[in-house]
Structure 1
Amino acid sequence: MSTYETYSKRQARLNGDQVDVYQYDYLPDKLKNQIIHIWNDVIGNYENWDNGHVYQIYGHFHNILCREMGVFELPHNNLLTKDKPSLAIINFFTKAQRINQNLDVIELIFRGINSFHDRFNKDEVEKP
C-alpha cells in the first residue's frame, strides 16, 4: 500500500528549520464552506449516505487521512458521524485549527477529484 505525501509533510521537508516569511495560520469559515460546496457539486451530496458512490469516495479519503494522521477516527467527531465518512471529514475540516490540517484535506480531496475526473474522461475518449 502506497503512502500519501500530504501537504504538511512536504512543507516540513521543504522548510526544514527555516521559518516562512509569510504566516498562513487561518482559513476563513466562508472559504471552508465554499470548498465543501465544491466537493458537494463534484462528488455528490455529502449527506447522501445511501449513495454507494459518494460513500465510497469519502470513505477512501477518510481512510487516507486517518492512516496518515495515525488515528482510527478523525478528531472533532462524535457518534453522529460514525460510519459517515463524509460528515467525519467535513467536521474535521471545519473544526481543525491548524492550517496544515486544512490544507491536507483540501489537497487530498481535490487531487482525488482530479484523478477521478482524468480517469472518467480517459474512459469517455477511448469509447468507440
Structure 2
Amino acid sequence: MIFDLFSKRQKRLRGEVPEIFTYDHIPDNLRVQIVHIIDDVIGAERFASNLDPDDIYSTIHGILCREYGVFRLWGKYEKEKEQLFNYILKAKLVEEVLDAVDLTFKYFLSVLKPSYLNYKHNTTSKLDPDAAIQELNVRFKENGIGYSFEGGEILRIDSTFMHKEVTQPTLSLLWNNCLLR
C-alpha cells in the first residue's frame, strides 16, 4: 500500500518530482521498498502446504546462482531469503538488482498468482501479486527510475508516451494471447 505522505505532497508542490528517468542507479530507499514488497507478497508460513515461503526464496536464489555461476548470492551463512534481500540491497550493478526483481516478480505472476487465495490462507502474505506489481511500478516512478514491470518482465521506459500508447497495449495483447494457449 502506498501512502501519500506529507513530504511527498510538499515535494510535488515544490516541483521536486523527477521528470527525467534514470537508468544507471537504483537508490537505497527504493531497494528497501522493493524488499518490503517482496516480503509482503511471500510472507511466512502459517500452515503447511505444497507452496512454502522458504521454498520460494530457495527457488529464486537457486535460479540466480545457477545463472551467475555462483553458489551463494551474498554472505556466507545466511538463509536464501536474507541472501536475496542483501543482494537486492547491496549489489553494485543495476542490471543485477533488476535481474533479482524481474525473476521474483515473474515467479509471482507464474506461480503465486494462479493459486494466490490458497497461498494467502496458508501464509502471512499481505499483498497479492497484481498489487505488488502496481506498487513496484509506482515506486520506480516516484524515484525517477526508468523501468517498469509490464507484460511479465522489467522493461526500460525510454519514452513514456511511446510506452503507454504503443508498448503497453502490445505487451498486454501478447501476454493475454500467451495465457490463452
Q: TM-score range by the shorter chain?
A: 0.5 to 0.7
Q: How does 1:26-105 map to 2 (within 5 A)?
A: 26-45=25-44, 53-74=52-73, 76-79=74-77, 81=78, 84-105=79-100
Partner of 1:24: 23
Name which structure has the greater RCO, CA cutoff 8 Å, separation 6+: 1
Which residue does 1:108 correspond to in 2? Answer: 103
Q: Any conservation in 2 of the 1:77–1:92 contact (CA below 8 Å)?
A: no
Query: Which digits, 9 at most, give the CA deviation of each residue in 1:65-94, with x for residues without a partner?
Result: 0000001111x4132x1xx10001111111
Residue 163 of structure 2 corresponds to none
- The alignment yields a C-alpha RMSD, in angstroms, of 2.4
Alpha-carbon distance between aligned partners in 1 of 2:66 and 2:76, rounded to the nearest angstrom: 19
Q: Letter of the aligned partner of 2:99 in structure 1?
A: D
Task: Give me the identity figure in percent.
Answer: 36
* Number of corresponding residues: 94
What TM-score, normalized to structure 1? 0.65
| Kept after mapping to 2: 8 A contact 1:66/1:73 | yes
Does the aligned pair in 1 maintain the 2:35–2:88 contact within 8 Å? no
Query: Shift in Å at residue 117 of structure 1?
Result: 3.2
Q: 1:43 is aligned with what amino acid? A: I
- How far 1:31 sits from its partner (Å)? 0.7
Q: Provide structure 1 residue ranges, at least 5 long, that are not aligned to the other structure.
A: 1-21, 124-128
Q: Runs ≥4 in structure 1, deviation > 4 angstroms?
A: none
Q: CA deviation at 1:118?
A: 3.4
TM-score in terms of structure 2 length:
0.47
| Residues 71-124 of structure 1 deviation map (CA, whole Å, 9 limit, x = unaligned) | 1111x4132x1xx1000111111110100000000100011011123321698x
- In 2, the alpha carbon distance for the partners of 1:93 and 1:23 equals 18
- Please state which structure has a larger fraction of its residues in strand: 2
Alignment-mate amino acid for residue 87 of structure 1: E
Paired letter, 2:97: N
Q: Flag the structure with larger Rg.
A: 2
Contact 2:60/2:103 (8 A) holds in 1: yes
Instruction: Please list every run of 5 or more consecutive structure 2 residues that lacks an aligned counterpart in the other structure.
Output: 1-20, 119-181
